[in-house]
Amino acid sequence: MLWLAIFFLVPMVFLGYQSLQSGLFPHFQFTWEFSNFSSALSGYHTQLIRSFVYAGIATLACLVLAYPLAYWIAFRAGPWRNLFLLFIVAPFFVTYLVRTLAWLNILADDGPVVRVLRDIHVLGPDGRLLATTFAVVAGITYNFLPFMALPLYVSLEQIDPRLLEASKDLYASSTQAFLRVTVPLSMPGIVAGTLLTFIPAAGDFINAALLGTPNQAMIGNVIQAKFLDSLDYPTAASLSFILMATILVLLLIYARIVGSEKLTG
């Protein structure tokens, strides 16, 4: 077994090394061209910031949607738990692109949602949902909701109901019991869930491409277009390096706030 590990450690290390280094190794020529970074940053900081804002909103929305759901499954669903867990992961079984395309159906201009919203005057007569920030963020929220719900469920499920009982015996109201017992104990799930949602959401470009317009373009769209359409590898590589570095910095700040042991545990 050890032999096997070493045998595969080497290519894995090589791969990891390459993936970290790629931003500095433009395909054209290696000249320590750090100006790539500054020009990429000045050219695309709007998309970069937008990515993090969208990912942040989507992560919060996921938390708000998923926490009660996970709580309900963990404490109230009884024998139906596994069935509801299956419901949570069900979206994974539909190809990512196809389930995002389904939102095109749902939010379409002459679709039922838009029609109802127009009738109750939430939207103007020409108001639309597609090609708006709302559609993109909603799409991201939908696609990453399971990543939030599953860790939340796992941590909530481990809470011993007797602890809640004890807090009630000590004259805590249910709100107090929830805030001072349940929420702190589910912190690992909240941390894991927000990370699992935020990180891929920040790099996502499918929702922005399908449900949005260039005005909603995220950093992933830029990287993708630079690599495949304009063949501008150095900029694309430095952008993807910047994305990774920013996420790492955010991670470190986050770790500071919630405590690093919670991040790894």
Partner 1 sequence: MTTAAETLPSRARVSFASRAWRFVARHSLTVYALLVVGYLMLPIVVVILFSFNHPTGRFNYVWHKFTFDNWIHWNAVLGIQGAVEKSLEVATLATLVATALGTGIALAIVRHRFVGRGATNVLVFLPLSTPEIVLGSSLLALFLNDQNTIQLGFWTIFIAHVMFIISFVVVTVKARLIGFDRHLEEAAMDLGANEWTTFQKVTLPLIAPAILAAALLGFALSIDDFVITYLNAGPVQTFPIFVWGIARVAVPPQVNVVASAIFLVAIALGLANVFWQYRAARSSRGGS
Task: Return the residues of window 183-242 that contact partner 1 according to CB under 8 A.
Answer: 195, 199-200, 202-206, 210, 219-220, 223-224, 227-228, 233, 236-237, 240-241
Q: How far is Cα 86 from Cα 32, in angstroms, rounded to an integer?
A: 50
Distance in angstroms (rounded) separating the CA atoms of residues 233 and 98: 29
78 lies in the binding site for partner 1 (CB under 8 A): yes
Which amino acid is located at 213 in the chain?
Answer: T
Residues 6+ apart with CB under 8 A from 127: 114, 117, 118
Instruction: Determine the Cα–Cα distance for residues 98 and 207; give it in Å rounded to an integer.
Output: 11
Cβ count within 10 A of residue 206: 19
With CB under 8 A as the contact rule, the residue among 41, 97, 179, 183 that binds partner 1 is 97
The string over 55-88, giving b where at least 16 C-beta atoms fall within 10 Å of a residue's C-beta and e elsewhere, is bbbbbebbbeebbebbbebbeebeeeeeebbeeb
170 makes contact with partner 1 (CB under 8 A): no
Q: Which of residues 121 and 261 has its CB atom nearest to partner 1 in the complex?
A: 261
Q: How far is the CB of 1 from partner 1 (least distance, A)?
A: 5
Using CB under 8 A as the binding rule, whether residue 93 contacts partner 1 is answered as yes
Answer for which of 33, 39, 60, 84 binds partner 1 (CB under 8 A) is 84
Tokens at residue 32, please?
């320590």
Residues binding partner 1: number (CB under 8 A): 89
b/e per residue 112-123 (b: at least 16 CB within 10 A):
eebeebbeeeeb
Question: What's the min distance (Å) between Cβ of 32 and partner 1?
Answer: 16
Q: Which of 60, 87, 131, 225 binds partner 1 (CB under 8 A)?
A: 87
Q: Nearer Cβ to partner 1, position 121 or 158? A: 158
Of 223, 258, 197, whose CA–CA distance to 40 is shortest?
A: 223
User: Is residue 250 part of the contact set for partner 1 (CB under 8 A)?
Assistant: no
Residue 146 contacts partner 1 per CB under 8 A: yes
105 interacts with partner 1 by CB under 8 A? yes
C-beta of 188: minimal distance to partner 1 in Å?
15
* Dist. CA 182–CA 246, nearest whole Å: 32
Among 19, 158, 215, 260, binds partner 1 (CB under 8 A): 19
Applying CB under 8 A, among 164, 181, 208, 217 the residue interacting with partner 1 is: 164
37-76 positions binding partner 1, by CB under 8 A: 65-66, 68-69, 71-76
The Cβ-side half-sphere exposure at 194, using a 13 Å CA radius, reads 20
